[in-house]
């Protein structure tokens, strides 16, 4: 049984389609990551699924129930918003109880969740004193206090440092043990790969591809290539400029990110690696590592939403 199903969903904002023909489904217990650039339509889609935004045509079903039936659907969904303010003058305890009454949550469930999320020691503190990571944990905890079947998370770790992000990932992943499904929009590809069973890439209001990580990679991995890690970004840029000048026929595209130069080639031949190695040696580039590429989800994303970006650095 699909916990979420959207069929031919369209949404227009001032005569422009912000969502076009969205067909998505999440099986019960699955996590789906929604990735795409800013303004691609991720938040619009999540707000429609949350029942906060009306759509023009199509269908959105939560556990088989149309999203418009809010009194039933609201019991099935939990929402973690992208930027959510809090009544700062309340304590964690007061706010949790307020939200608990709002969602008819069992006080025992609430206490259990507070313990799991590690917020017990902050229970009597004012909300204004909580750190960014603890606030995010609180939001996630509040979204599941009424035992929903689907949690909708809009960029749940945006703005957090890498350590806290990992802590939040663990917490989000633990929702799976509770049998909760999730749809998570994120800019972080690593987050999408780690947390989700399936990924959907959205661009210009359309889902351009979706499936498991392997399915997506297989679909777009028609190219091979290699990645050269140099000593620093300047060295990487200078190497990129040099190979651009040479106009080597087997190099389809190349780009630079920090100290790495990613070279996508037409097919693969050992001679390509030898040639690149030779060129690096002749130019006396300070090389840390050369590795053959497996197309990542990030590459797929860039390839789909902005193919020119791959060449734009040259």
Kindly list the residues in this chain that would bind other proteins in the complex (CB under 8 A): 50-54, 70-71, 74-75, 77, 79, 81, 83-87, 89-90, 94, 98-99, 101-104, 146
As measured in angstroms, the least distance from the Cβ of 86 to other proteins is 7
Joined together, the tokens standing for residue 210 give 């979706």
Per DSSP, what are the bridge partners of residue 152?
A: 79, 183
Cα(291)–Cα(300) distance, integer angstroms: 18
As measured in angstroms, the least distance from the Cβ of 93 to other proteins is 12
Beta carbon nearer to other proteins, 89 or 241: 89
Q: Are 272 and 265 in contact (CB under 8 A)?
A: yes
As measured in angstroms, the least distance from the Cβ of 47 to other proteins is 9
Other Cβ atoms less than 10 A from the Cβ of 228: the count is: 26
Beta carbon nearer to other proteins, 4 or 199: 4
As to burial, measured by CB atoms within 10 angstroms (0-12 exposed, 13-18 middle, 19+ buried), residue 45 is: buried
Beta carbon nearer to other proteins, 137 or 303: 137
Phi/psi at 67 (5° precision): -60, -20
Beta carbon nearer to other proteins, 90 or 304: 90
Beta carbon nearer to other proteins, 96 or 243: 96
As measured in angstroms, the least distance from the Cβ of 79 to other proteins is 6
As measured in angstroms, the least distance from the Cβ of 128 to other proteins is 11
Residue 188's alpha-carbon distances to 19, 155, 220, 252, 254, in angstroms, are: 22, 9, 19, 26, 22
Beta carbon nearer to other proteins, 88 or 161: 88
* DSSP string covering 112-169: HHHHHTT-GGGTTSBGGG--HHHHHHHHHHHHHTT--SEEEEESTTTT--HHHHHHHH
């Amino acid at each position: 049984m699909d916990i979420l199903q959207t069929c031919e969903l369209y949404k227009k904002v001032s005569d422009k389609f912000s969502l076009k023909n969205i067909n998505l489904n999440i099986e019960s217990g699955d996590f789906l990551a929604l990735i795409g650039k800013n303004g691609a339509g991720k938040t619009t889609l999540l707000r429609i699924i949350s029942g906060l935004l009306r759509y023009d045509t199509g269908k959105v079903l939560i556990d088989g129930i149309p999203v418009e039936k809010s009194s039933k659907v609201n019991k099935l969904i939990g929402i973690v918003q992208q930027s959510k303010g809090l009544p700062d003058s309340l304590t964690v305890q007061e706010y949790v109880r307020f939200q608990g009454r709002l969602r008819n949550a069992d006080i025992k469930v609430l206490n259990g969740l507070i313990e799991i999320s590690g917020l017990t020691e902050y229970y009597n503190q004012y909300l204004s004193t909580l750190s960014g990571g603890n606030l995010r944990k609180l939001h996630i905890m509040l979204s599941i206090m009424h035992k929903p079947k689907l949690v909708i998370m809009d960029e749940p770790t945006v703005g957090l440092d890498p350590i806290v992000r990992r802590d939040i990932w663990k917490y989000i992943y633990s929702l799976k043990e509770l049998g909760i499904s999730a749809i998570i929009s994120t800019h972080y590809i690593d987050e999408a790969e780690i947390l989700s069973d399936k990924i959907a890439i959205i661009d210009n209001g359309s889902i351009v591809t979706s499936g498991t990580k392997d399915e997506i990679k297989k679909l777009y991995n028609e190219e091979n290539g290699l990645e050269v890690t140099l000593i620093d970004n300047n060295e990487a840029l200078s190497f990129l400029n040099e190979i651009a000048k040479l106009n080597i026929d087997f190099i389809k595209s190349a780009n630079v990110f920090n100290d790495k130069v990613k070279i996508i080639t037409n097919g693969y031949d050992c001679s390509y690696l030898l040639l690149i190695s030779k060129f690096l040696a002749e130019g006396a580039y300070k090389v840390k590592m050369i590795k053959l590429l497996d197309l990542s989800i990030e590459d797929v994303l860039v390839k789909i939403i902005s193919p020119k970006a791959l060449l734009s650095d040259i």
